[in-house]
Amino acid sequence: MRGFDLTPYRRSTVGFDRLFDLIENNARAVQGDNYPPFNIERLSDDKYRVTLAVAGFREDELDIVAQQNLLQVSGRKAEISNDERAKFVHVGIANRSFERRFELADFVRVESANLADGLLTIELVREVPEAMKPKKIAINGGQIVEIGKQSDAA
């Protein structure tokens, strides 16, 4: 089984450590069950994309469920009858049902999902509420400023 090197992502992300740990642990635990294959891309500081190779699945055969800190993608194919199966000389395209679970960091939500050319892409966005964003506290009664914004007092 091919291992994942998530070190570059760990260095530059905060709050996703648990996500990477679970991906690595899941990859070790399932050993061999890598269907369907998937990629996880970091598009920017707060945007991610999960891409699953779901060749042969139609939109109505796929389900995406987003719960707090969990993204579940499943595909259900109807069983092929023995008459249909007898027509195939070779079956090399996996045509089985699946379920993939991805643990998400806090405040990550699914923005969109798209199925094209046998690839299911799910766009994720991390949106931290204003009350949870870090604030810089000035010493001696200065103004409180959100980190990343300029202050007239500074």
Q: Does pTM top 0.85 for this prediction?
A: no
- Can you tell me which residue has the tokens 């998530």? 6
DSSP-assigned letter for residue 132: G
* CA-only gyration radius of the chain, Å: 21
Nearest CA among 123, 103, 106 for reference residue 114: 123
| Whether the Cβ atoms of residue 38 and residue 100 lie closer than 8 Å to each other | yes
Return the structure tokens found at 58: 């139609």
Per-residue pLDDT of the chain (154 residues), as tens digits, is: 456 566 665 555 555 666 666 666 665 555 556 789 999 999 998 899 999 999 889 999 999 999 988 999 999 987 777 777 778 888 787 778 999 999 898 889 999 999 999 999 999 999 888 777 777 877 876 666 666 655 454 4
